[in-house]
Amino acid sequence: MSPQTEPSTHRHFLIHKPYGYLSQFIGEAKKKKLGEFHDFPEGIMAIGRLDEDSEGLLLLTTDGRMSELVRSKKIEKEYYAQVDGLIEDAAINQLQTGVEIGIHNVRYLTTPCTARRLDPAPAFAPRTRKIRDDRHGPTSWVSITLTEGKYRQVRKMTAAVGFPTLRLIRVRVGDIWLGDLAPGAVREVAGFGM
């Protein structure tokens, strides 16, 4: 069998990263990490990152080439953001056309994206740490689909249009959906099909 036709020995996983965990396996001793959820194989890596205070779909692989492909600007990533206040059409339009945000003290104009209000709100399990009380005013949900991934981009985008993000959940990477995968749940898959 030639090297090009040998079956892959790489392994791939989906995980629903909960709030309060780092998207890594080693690091600061006092921080919660992904290795707490499963006995992953040696060489496993997260494809991209979700901030400690973000949740949702995270792809894991032992294949560095797959990681590069998924992180490319060809693959869409969709996020659901719960924002402070009732997001308005003008803000949705601004998100779609691009907004200026700061990335490491440099101003950056985001590329056009897909954004829409989510009504009714998605039915996610409550976050492990309460977001805030209803007495602080209404919230709403928006879907934002990007092909880029700057540092804390979605949070910076919603803040730039006047609706700071309170909760952020990645629901899709390419054609792979979070679906009903529970927080902390891990599913091994044959590949990502991208």
Positions of E strands within 7-155: 12-17, 45-47, 55-61, 77-84, 100-103, 106-109, 114-118, 139-146
Q: Is 51 a catalytic residue?
A: yes
Max CA pair span of the chain: 66
Of 51, 84, 133, 175, which residue is the catalytic one? Answer: 51
- Return the sign of the alpha-carbon dihedral for residues 150, 154, 156, 157: positive
Measure the CA–CA gap between 40 and 99, rounded to whole angstroms.
Answer: 39
Measure the CA–CA gap between 58 and 45, rounded to whole angstroms.
Answer: 10
**Whether 123 contacts 178, CB under 8 Å:** no
Which residues are marked as active site?
A: 51
